[in-house]
Amino acid sequence: MTADPSLIARLNGVVVHHADRGPIGPVDLAVTRGEIVAVVGASGCGKSTLLRLLAGLETPDAGRVERRVDKGRTGLVFQNATLMPWAAAVENVALPLRLAGQSKDQAHVRARTALAQVGLGERAGARPHQLSGGMAMRASLARALVTDPDLLLLDEPFAALDSATRRALIEDIHALWARRRPAVVFVTHDVEEAAYMAGRVLVMRAVDGRIAAEISTPGALPRPAGHRLDPAHARAVEQIASALDAAMEPAA
């Protein structure tokens, strides 16, 4: 069988054991170039574990992880900005490039470009304590984007932000995605956010982290103006919410 050239990463029957809960999985998931996938599920069901597997940061106890991403071309954004508090924004964003061996001057040029792309071009010299929560998250996003990733993994990056900032950042991510169209996997607890952000939503079961439902959302990405008022969007939100309710139930 010919390999799928669009495939970025795949989980084949992966199982992960944790000491404080039952096993997660088996999980099967394929992520292809240019798609945005959202993942929703109860706290502790394995959403962050799924991202770590896709990133190559964790090895499953069973099954196989297949990654077709060049080294250094995976971007990861956590719930907290995780910026170095002593370093300026430009130095934080340049960190992946410096670790990859680029000179300081080269890395800072690319870091300043990435900061400008997320609206922080004028704050390159600011320390994290001088940035608002939304600005700090933008800097973290710039750090993930500075390597031009083929796979961008977002682990509840907006959880601590207010609603207006969350919505603005989603629009920013859509705009940035449209320029190069990396594969994006986005973890969230917010059902409406998942339906708006992604073209495909996966619902994980609370009891074992298996994929309980896969729901395609209507409309093009990035979303057109007024998309949240579209009845088709509202139906997708309700469909995801219903699947999530069912996924919260214990195994029979």
48 and 134 housed in the same domain: no
| Residue 138 near residue 114 (C-beta atoms within 8 A) | no
| Residue 31 near residue 151 (C-beta atoms within 8 A) | yes
CA distance 30 to 11: 6
Report the pLDDT value the prediction gives residue 2, as an integer from 0 to 100.
46
23 and 48 housed in the same domain: yes
pLDDT in tens, 101-153: 999 999 999 999 999 988 899 999 999 999 998 899 889 999 999 998 999 99
Classify residue 50 by burial, with Cβ atoms within 10 Å: 0-12, 13-18, 19+: buried
28 and 102 housed in the same domain: no
Q: Return phi, psi of residue 13, to 5°.
A: 55, 35
Q: Report the number of secondary-structure helices (H) and strands (E) in the chain.
A: 7, 9
CA distance 157 to 143: 13
Report the pLDDT value the prediction gives residue 251, as an integer from 0 to 100.
53
62 and 98 housed in the same domain: no
Q: Which structural domain range is residue 12 located in?
A: 1-69+150-252
109 and 45 housed in the same domain: no
Domain CATH number, residue 180: 3.40.50.300
93 and 170 housed in the same domain: no
Domain count, the chain: 2
63 and 155 housed in the same domain: yes
Report the pLDDT value the prediction gives residue 3, as an integer from 0 to 100.
61
Whether the CA torsion 34, 200, 186, 62 is positive or negative: it is negative
Query: Omega of the bond prior to 222 within 30 degrees of 0, cis?
Result: yes
Question: Which parts of the chain register pLDDT below 50?
Answer: 1-2, 252
Report the pLDDT value the prediction gives residue 1, as an integer from 0 to 100.
41
Residue 102: other Cβ atoms inside 10 A:
16
41 and 160 housed in the same domain: yes
CA distance 40 to 38: 7
230 and 188 housed in the same domain: yes
Residue 34 is classified by DSSP as: T
- Between the two ends of the chain, the Cα-to-Cα distance in Å is 37
